[in-house]
């Protein structure tokens, strides 16, 4: 470390506050400053934050010490203090650059995508506030600030998913996202409470330093059932990640969030909200390394998500939903990396994935613009000659997604598959299952990715038939496309404010893996020659016995060129090639074969189209069952409890009314009653004393 290089506190405060200031200006003063003022204020704020984030990362790479300092004490209760502070190391700085850069591209893109939307200023305010919330999350130095950022991104995502608040499907989608995430957040809060109770501090540095104290400690959650405290804490924390990072079974909210505008799809699903859980687990590596059980749980959930959500993407026809299910699958890959203690591979794939997945989402949005807001790929086809820039950039993003050697996605995704294979060699059902899941996922990813390209950009121009038959329910009211065509809409390339972010995102999607795999994964220079300290040393902790990335570095890493050339012979590449070949055959060469295959596989396809009936389970089962239980409870309360109480009161009233009639006030009535009582008493005495 170079003591002469110091990270400025003011600089870090500006990184956080600049997007917030832009959000306030666009949100509260949007009518005064107008559309141009709103996008100018927010773009300048995020651009400034991005530039400062890049400078912070550069300082850390030049040897600056980790910044860890409290800025403000919010609350003090006994020995426990709740602070606002920052901990900025290379892991944090990498996340800061990714979040702000992708957010900047989304902001620029939004100028073109939302040009005719009435909520223009409101949308810019929301996405800038989202950026502020994410920065507070990743830069925090304590659990409470982390939870604040965690909940803030959830709140803003609720506003963004339901941006079209007069649209019933959007209202349902944002409520679904909000409620499903509350399930995960409850577990997350329990995990934080466990850290405070058993470790005694909410500060990262103190908690991690004292984490070894809970090694071997157990607690009886149920009588006679002892659980490792580390396992309990880590599983609870990971349940929070399951909600935010959309892992099975808490994944059901993410595809429905496509109801929001396309720019927010890129912001939520690519670089920000859904990656928060991956970042959190990597940050908590000193805790997770204490429990193999927790790591196995993480591994199983990640593997299931990687394979089975990808399979759903194979049958989707909405262009945005295909990309959304791809995101779910890739998040599963990141989670698998976490489960095998390859934390660096997880966050590295997080970084590369952010660029090419944001590119694919924004590319899908560009197609939607060019198709006049049509999203069904079955109504597209042949768009490559109308939208050349979008076509080429989406090809580049797809090649990165399917892990084509030399593209950025290859270095991160292949590292995860190799790490899973290395872990599987140690035995165990879960390890074997995870390896085969990520391996088969390569075929699945390749198939649905090239299916999207072929349906959208190749084949016959089906949009003419779609318009000609009145299937334009999803189209806007602008029938003049500016090119002199009337009747059916002619597709057109998007304006430069849309295509520029595509080009700028395509560049790192292609090259960033080549130059960063060595330093960030294997602790060498970019060429793979000089061995040095790992990029994430000090930020990520791995038990030496579990350091799978060190084993891969020693055995397989000889520079980016050799690693990529070796990739052409790996099973993952061959499976990806098979997926490409099958998609090419069915959607380009012999499309007539699809009819017979669809008929033969009707049952599995129906299962995938119904998303394994998970929505039915959550909505009709758990949520619907809760509603029915509430109605039953209300019925019991009204009919049984209230009936019993009201019946008793009514009985008392009836008896009292009858007895009231006996009290006449006449002396001879009372004398007659006394005589009757005396006769009854004598009769009883005679009966019992005989």
- Is residue 486's pLDDT more than 50? no
Query: According to the model, what pLDDT value does residue 118 have?
Result: 86
Residues ≥6 apart with Cβ < 8 Å to 352: 400, 408, 409, 411, 412, 508, 509, 512, 513
Q: Are 498 and 107 in contact (CB under 8 A)?
A: no
Reported as a pLDDT band with limits 50, 70 and 90, residue 487 is very low
> Which residue would you say has higher pLDDT here, 674 or 336?
336
Residues above pLDDT 70, as percent of the chain: 94
pLDDT average, residue stretch 90-112: 92
- Pick from 47, 44, 68, 64: nearest CA to 56: 64
- Is residue 471's pLDDT more than 70? no
Out of 65-69, 313-317, 487-491, 604-608, which region has the weakest mean confidence (pLDDT)? 487-491
- Is residue 454's pLDDT more than 60? yes
- Pick from 601, 580, 576: nearest CA to 589: 580
Average pLDDT value over all residues in the chain: 87
674-677 contact pairs (CB < 8 A, 24+): none
DSSP secondary structure, 186-210, as one string: HHHHHHHHHIIIII---BHHHHHHT
d(CA 593, CA 501): 38
- Dihedral of the CA atoms 201, 202, 203, 204 (nearest 10)? 100
- Pick from 588, 573, 601, 620: nearest CA to 311: 601
- HEC readout, 508-552: HHHHHHHHHHHHHHHCECCCCCCECCCCCECCECCCHHHCHHHHH
Residues ≥6 apart with Cβ < 8 Å to 659: none
Q: How many C-beta atoms surround the C-beta of residue 547 within 10 A?
A: 15
d(CA 208, CA 201): 9
Reported as a pLDDT band with limits 50, 70 and 90, residue 489 is low
- Is residue 149's pLDDT more than 60? yes
pLDDT average, residue stretch 178-187: 89
Q: Give how far the C-alpha of residue 450 lies from the chain's centroid of Cα atoms, to the nearest Å.
A: 24
Query: According to the model, what pLDDT value does residue 258 have?
Result: 80
* Cα first-last separation, the chain: 111
What are the DSSP E strand ranges found in 292-386? none
DSSP secondary structure, 142-200, as one string: BHHHHHHHHHHHHHHHHHHHT-STT-HHHHHHHHHHHHHHHHHHHHHHHHHHHIIIII-
Sign, CA dihedral 188-193-195-198, equals: negative
- Is residue 151's pLDDT more than 60? yes
- HEC readout, 47-110: HHHHHHHHHHHHHHHCCCCCEEEEEEEEEEECCEEEEEEEEECHHHHHHHHHHHHHHHHHHHHH
Q: Which two tokens mark 283?
A: 């940050």
Helix axes 343-370, 388-401, angle to 10 degrees: 160
List, for residues 613-636, the tens digit of each pLDDT value: 887 777 776 666 767 777 777 788
Out of 84-88, 291-295, 484-488, 561-565, which region has the weakest mean confidence (pLDDT)? 484-488
Query: According to the model, what pLDDT value does residue 169 have?
Result: 85
- Is residue 480's pLDDT more than 50? no
d(CA 334, CA 330): 6
Helix axes 276-283, 343-370, angle to 10 degrees: 170
pLDDT average, residue stretch 261-289: 83
Determine the number of helices (DSSP H) and then strands (DSSP E) in the chain: 29, 4
Query: According to the model, what pLDDT value does residue 476 have?
Result: 35
List, for residues 340-386, the tens digit of each pLDDT value: 999 999 999 999 999 999 899 989 989 998 888 888 898 888 888 89
Distances (CA, A) of 601 to 307, 345, 591, 597: 18, 36, 16, 6
- Is residue 683's pLDDT more than 90? no
- Type and span of the H or E element at 221: strand 218-222
pLDDT average, residue stretch 431-447: 95
Q: Are 284 and 234 in contact (CB under 8 A)?
A: yes
> Which residue would you say has higher pLDDT here, 669 or 508?
508
- Is residue 559's pLDDT more than 50? yes
Ranked by mean pLDDT, the top range of 74-78, 117-121, 461-465, 617-621 is 117-121
- Pick from 278, 392, 300: nearest CA to 344: 278
Report DSSP state, residue 467: H
- Is residue 469's pLDDT more than 70? no
- Is residue 586's pLDDT more than 60? yes
φ and ψ of 598, to 5 deg: -60, -40
DSSP secondary structure, 607-639, as one string: HHHTGGGHHIIIIIIIIHHHHHHHHHHHHIIII
Query: According to the model, what pLDDT value does residue 478 have?
Result: 35
- Is residue 187's pLDDT more than 90? yes
- Pick from 158, 162, 27, 39: nearest CA to 106: 39
Distances (CA, A) of 29 to 106, 110, 251: 21, 19, 36
- Is residue 401's pLDDT more than 70? yes
Beta pairing, strands 67-77 & 80-88: antiparallel
pLDDT average, residue stretch 273-279: 88
d(CA 517, CA 408): 9
């Amino acid at each position: 470390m170079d003591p002469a290089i110091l990270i400025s506190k003011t600089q870090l405060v500006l990184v956080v506050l600049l997007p917030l200031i832009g959000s306030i200006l666009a949100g509260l003063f949007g009518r005064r400053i107008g559309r141009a003022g709103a996008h100018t204020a927010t773009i300048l704020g995020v651009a400034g934050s991005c530039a400062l984030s890049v400078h912070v990362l550069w300082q850390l790479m030049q040897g600056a010490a980790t910044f860890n300092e409290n800025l403000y004490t919010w609350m003090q209760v006994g020995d426990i203090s709740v602070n606002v502070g920052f901990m900025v190391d290379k892991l944090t700085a990498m996340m800061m650059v990714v979040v702000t850069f992708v957010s900047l591209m989304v902001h620029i893109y939004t100028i073109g995508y939302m040009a005719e939307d009435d909520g223009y200023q409101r949308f810019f305010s929301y996405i800038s506030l989202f950026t502020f919330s994410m920065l507070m999350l990743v830069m925090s130095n304590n659990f409470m600030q982390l939870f604040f950022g965690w909940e803030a991104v959830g709140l803003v995502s609720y506003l963004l998913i339901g941006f079209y608040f007069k649209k019933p499907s959007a209202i349902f989608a944002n409520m679904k996202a909000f409620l499903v995430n509350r399930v995960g957040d409850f577990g997350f809060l329990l995990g934080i409470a466990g850290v405070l109770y058993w470790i005694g501090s909410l500060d990262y540095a103190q908690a991690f330093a004292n984490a070894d104290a809970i090694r071997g400690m157990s607690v009886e959650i149920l009588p006679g059932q002892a659980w490792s405290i580390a396992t309990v804490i880590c599983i609870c924390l990971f349940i929070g990640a399951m909600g935010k990072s959309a892992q099975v079974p808490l994944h059901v909210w993410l595809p429905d969030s496509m109801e929001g505008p396309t720019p927010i799809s890129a912001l939520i699903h690519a670089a920000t909200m859904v990656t928060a859980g991956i970042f959190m687990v990597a940050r908590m590596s000193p805790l997770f390394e204490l429990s193999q059980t927790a790591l196995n749980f993480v591994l199983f959930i990640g593997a299931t998500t990687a394979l089975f959500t990808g399979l759903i993407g194979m049958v989707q026809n909405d262009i945005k939903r295909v990309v959304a299910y791809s995101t779910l699958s890739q998040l599963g890959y990141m989670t698998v990396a976490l489960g095998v203690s390859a934390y660096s591979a997880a966050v590295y794939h997080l970084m590369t994935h952010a660029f090419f997945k944001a590119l694919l989402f924004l590319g899908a949005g560009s197609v939607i613009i060019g198709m006049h807001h049509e999203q069904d790929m079955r109504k597209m086809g042949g768009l490559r000659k109308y939208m050349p820039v979008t076509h080429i950039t989406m090809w580049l993003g797809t090649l990165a997604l399917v892990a084509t050697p030399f593209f950025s996605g290859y270095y991160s995704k292949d590292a995860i598959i190799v790490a899973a294979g290395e872990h599987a060699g140690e035995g165990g059902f879960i390890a074997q299952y995870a390896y085969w899941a990520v391996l088969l996922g390569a075929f699945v990813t390749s198939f649905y990715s090239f299916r999207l390209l072929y349906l959208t950009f190749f084949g016959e121009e089906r949009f003419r038939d779609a318009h000609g038959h009145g299937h334009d329910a999803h189209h806007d009211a602008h029938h003049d496309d500016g090119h002199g065509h009337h009747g059916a809409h002619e597709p057109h390339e998007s304006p430069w404010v849309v295509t520029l972010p595509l080009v700028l995102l395509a560049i790192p999607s292609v090259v960033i893996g080549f130059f960063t795999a060595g330093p960030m994964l294997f602790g060498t220079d970019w060429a793979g020659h000089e061995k040095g300290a790992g990029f994430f040393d000090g930020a990520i902790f791995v038990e030496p016995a579990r350091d799978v990335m060190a084993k891969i570095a020693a055995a397989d890493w000889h520079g980016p060129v050799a690693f990529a050339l070796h990739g052409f012979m790996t099973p993952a590449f061959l499976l990806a090639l098979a997926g490409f070949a099958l998609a090419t055959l069915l959607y380009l060469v012999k499309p007539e074969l699809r009819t017979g295959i669809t008929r033969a596989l009707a049952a599995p396809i129906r299962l995938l189209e119904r998303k394994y009936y998970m929505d039915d389970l959550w909505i009709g089962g758990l949520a619907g069952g809760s509603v029915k239980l509430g109605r039953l409870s209300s019925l019991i309360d009204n009919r049984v409890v209230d009936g019993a109480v009201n019946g008793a009161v009514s009985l008392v009233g009836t008896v009292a009314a009858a007895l009231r009639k006996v009290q006449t006030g006449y002396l001879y009535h009372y004398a007659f009653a006394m005589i009757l009582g005396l006769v009854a008493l004598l009769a009883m005495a005679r009966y019992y004393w005989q």
